[in-house]
Chain A
Amino acid sequence: MDFALSKNNRLFWMGRYSERVYQGVLAVRDLQDQNLDGGNVDYQDLCRRLGITQDFSDASDFLNRYLFDRSLPDSLICAADAMLGNGMVLRETISSTTLSYLQMAVTALEIASTSAASGVELQLVLDDIMAFRGSCYEYVADEATRNIIKCGVSVERLSIQLRFDEQEEKVDKELHKLLNRLYKTHLSCRAPSLDLVTSYAFQKEDRPDRATLLQSVESLFQL
């Protein structure tokens, strides 16, 4: 492996932001659909779970700003910018080809912001992120490097699953994926967090509570 420590941080966060955008777009697209028929979208609950403190006038306002508002730090477009920003400083590690998929995802999100049928462009965001991951597999030769990106993806996915009280099986599956990847990265972990995550993954009874698990997942890596 041939990169400086700060690059680990960028690889990790590039993976993490890519998952934030991916899961966020999937969720918002479903919520937009619900909202079409006047469905009751509990956006305040979403904000609480995501730690978003801003006020929104209604569900439509929330969905629109959460997707496209660059002045809202928690918005998906800000996450997409951060994903691309991390990728840009990793060009020689991930290749221009891989980076281009991140650029296309951001462009698709920008186009979606002006589209009357944003769902079509949002699909392209998802496609581009998937292509980015495939391209990482193809172009990033170093296994540890690939696994740092994947660890970022896993941590973000777990964070979302735990915040949204996802089923136990899904959390277990992702925890095991994370632990498998972690040992292939050479990254340093915080011992108490690693102990808790490991014990949660391997014991079925007397598990720590989910809030503690979330805290440990978030603080697992020393980057």
Chain B
Amino acid sequence: MDGLMKNADSINRQLARYGVKFGIYKNGQFHERLFPFDPIPRVIAAEEWATLEKGLIQRVDALNAFLRDIYGKRHIIADGVIPEDFVYLSSGYLPQCEGIVPPGGIYSHISGIDLVKGKNGTWYILEDNLRVPSGASYPLIARQLCRRCSPETFRQNNVVDNRNYGNLLRETMDAANTGGINVIFTPGRYNAAYFEHSYLAERSGAVLAESQDLYVKNNRLYYRSLEGDQQVGALYRRISDDYLDPLCFLPESLIGIPNLMAVYRAGNVAIINSPGNGVADDKGIYYFVPKMIRYYLNQEPILSNAPTYLPFYEEDRAYVLEHLDTLVIKDVAEAGGYGVVFGSGLSAEKLAEMRRTILSEPRRFIAQEVVDFEDLPLLEGGSTVLRKADLRAFVLTGKETRVWPSGLTRFSRNPDSFIVNSSQGGGFKDTWILR
């Protein structure tokens, strides 16, 4: 790693040169800044990765089976494995998607699964992201630039090449494509992840389009081109469900495509990822994923969830209320590190208030044991310090389910924090998988 650490400045200059940025809105204003990068990678040994890979494929296959079931015949509810409250009261459940079977029966084509490694060496799944998971572009370009700045490091270490993500993405889009071009649909220049949208379009050879570039005619989706409009066969949308089609979801959406859902329902375009996936990555449904694996795949889960309690269940509620000061409470409707409260950080008064809220809205929260996850070294002011870090693994499902041999390692820059989200000041590292 010495080579990378010595060349940290030149790597950062390269990242600036290529505009590796993300945007945040603060006080209603858009600010774009460089995504802080730490040159010391997370390193995962081949054997450890092999287990992770199997577990991730298993999990995503089960989640896809759940989505097929829940927007279809709902056997899992009828069989009493998951209470219907956790499906129908989830804000991610979209009745507009009932009965729709997407091309190939795949709902989550690109899944971002967040994991942490406990100090005991066990990997825990923290969260599934099946809507619009972002972040693959950052380690992708960082690897390219690290190799340029410190080639010797890569000569000396046997690292699996991760620069095939553009091809994997293209194959995933091609597998779902119903006939036509592949398009990455961005809300526009002032989206937090715009760098990623444009970079992935370049790497995958897809066309980058905004809503005004796309329209529906005769129940098909078209891309406006100067030399004649082109049909779109696969739409990798980087826009949330609510804004996708103003005629189906939020009518005030100006960034969606009117009638897109009708085209999708007719099977004339693949939407990547499918609308309605939020029901499967809801923090409440997370608790049930191991049960889904057993139910749909008839297998034991390879990867563990963090120990989780659902205040919805009386027994869990009693435990949560009693141990609130040692648990982490998550609001199921929130994302991006928001709505996460550590009981240990609350005053007696706030704890009492939280207890009352949980009692009045038990479905709204999950509670988890605080996983004492591994600290990773990072370079700060010329020396190394230890900080909390997670890993977002990217699982792509096309003709088959594959895991990208890399991932986005996000770290907290605050020594006292477990929150690693970029929107809250976190940075990122490359993730090396050794051969």
B18 interface hit (Cβ, 8 Å): yes
Q: Is the CB of B189 within 8 A of A3?
A: no
Q: Which residues of A contact B391 (CB under 8 A)?
A: none
B250 interface hit (Cβ, 8 Å): no
Which residue, B198, B207, B224, B226, has most C-beta atoms of chain A within 10 A?
B226
Q: Is the CB of A92 within 8 A of B224?
A: no
Within the complex, the shortest CB–CB distance from A85 to chain B, in Å, comes to 7
Q: Is the CB of B17 within 8 A of A88?
A: no
Partner of A3, one of B18, B19, B206, B226: B226
Q: Which residues of A contact B18 (CB under 8 A)?
A: 96, 99-100, 103
Q: Which residues of A contact B195 (CB under 8 A)?
A: 88
Q: Which residues of A contact B202 (CB under 8 A)?
A: 91-92, 95-96
A107 interface hit (Cβ, 8 Å): yes
B194 interface hit (Cβ, 8 Å): yes
Interface residues of B in 395-425 (CB under 8 A from A): none
Q: Which residues of A contact B349 (CB under 8 A)?
A: none
Q: Which residues of B contact A92 (CB under 8 A)?
A: 198, 201-202, 206-208
Interface residues of B in 196-226 (CB under 8 A from A): 198-199, 201-202, 206-210, 212-213, 223-226
Q: Is the CB of A104 within 8 A of B17?
A: yes
With A6-B213, A99-B19: A91-B199 Cβ-Cβ less than 8 Å: yes
Within the complex, the shortest CB–CB distance from A209 to chain B, in Å, comes to 34
Within the complex, the shortest CB–CB distance from A149 to chain B, in Å, comes to 15
Q: Is the CB of A103 within 8 A of B210?
A: no
Q: Is the CB of B198 within 8 A of A1?
A: no
B16 interface hit (Cβ, 8 Å): yes
A50 interface hit (Cβ, 8 Å): no
B380 interface hit (Cβ, 8 Å): no
Q: Is the CB of A91 within 8 A of B201?
A: yes
Partner of B19, one of A1, A2, A7, A88: A88
Interface residues of B in 17-37 (CB under 8 A from A): 17-19
Q: Is the CB of A1 within 8 A of B225?
A: yes
Q: Is the interface of B mostly helix, strand, loop or mixed?
A: mixed
Q: Which residues of A contact B210 (CB under 8 A)?
A: 6
Q: Which residues of B contact A100 (CB under 8 A)?
A: 17-19
Select from chain B the residue with minimum beta-carbon distance to A107.
B16
Select from chain B the residue with minimum beta-carbon distance to A148.
B226
Select from chain B the residue with minimum beta-carbon distance to A3.
B225
With A91-B202, A92-B201, A92-B202: A103-B227 Cβ-Cβ less than 8 Å: no
**Complex CA distance for A104 and B17, rounded to whole angstroms:** 6
**Complex CA distance for A1 and B230, rounded to whole angstroms:** 11
Q: Which residues of B contact A89 (CB under 8 A)?
A: 188-189, 198, 208
**Complex CA distance for A88 and B196, rounded to whole angstroms:** 11
**Complex CA distance for A92 and B170, rounded to whole angstroms:** 14
Q: Is the CB of B226 within 8 A of A8?
A: yes
With A89-B198, A95-B202: A4-B223 Cβ-Cβ less than 8 Å: yes
Partner of A5, one of B17, B198, B199, B224: B224
Inter-chain CB contacts under 8 Å: number: 66
Partner of B209, one of A1, A4, A85, A186: A4
**Complex CA distance for A91 and B181, rounded to whole angstroms:** 18
Interface residues of B in 170-200 (CB under 8 A from A): 181, 188-189, 194-195, 198-199
Q: Is the CB of B208 within 8 A of A91?
A: yes
Within the complex, the shortest CB–CB distance from A183 to chain B, in Å, comes to 14
Which residue, A5, A91, A99, A144, has most C-beta atoms of chain B within 10 A?
A91
Q: Is the CB of A4 within 8 A of B225?
A: yes
Q: Which residues of B contact A95 (CB under 8 A)?
A: 202
Which residue, B17, B188, B194, has most C-beta atoms of chain A within 10 A?
B17
**Complex CA distance for A144 and B225, rounded to whole angstroms:** 13
**Complex CA distance for A223 and B292, rounded to whole angstroms:** 53
Interface residues of A in 95-121 (CB under 8 A from B): 95-96, 99-100, 103-104, 107
**Complex CA distance for A7 and B227, rounded to whole angstroms:** 13
- Chain B 223-235 interface mask (CB, 8 Å, partner A; 1/0): 1111100100000
**Complex CA distance for A4 and B17, rounded to whole angstroms:** 27
The 29 sampled A-B contact pairs (Cβ below 8 Å) are A1-B225, A1-B226, A2-B225, A2-B230, A4-B212, A4-B223, A5-B213, A5-B224, A5-B226, A6-B212, A6-B213, A85-B189, A88-B194, A88-B198, A89-B188, A89-B208, A91-B198, A91-B199, A91-B208, A92-B198, A92-B202, A92-B207, A95-B202, A96-B199, A100-B17, A100-B18, A103-B17, A103-B19, A104-B17
Query: Could you list which residues of chain B lie within 8 angstroms of chain A, going by C-beta atoms?
Result: 16-19, 141, 181, 188-189, 194-195, 198-199, 201-202, 206-210, 212-213, 223-227, 230
Q: Beyond A1-B226, A4-B212, A89-B188, list 19 extra A-B contacts (CB 8 Å).
A: A1-B225, A1-B227, A4-B224, A5-B213, A5-B226, A6-B212, A85-B189, A88-B19, A88-B195, A88-B198, A92-B201, A92-B207, A92-B208, A96-B141, A96-B199, A100-B19, A103-B16, A144-B226, A186-B227
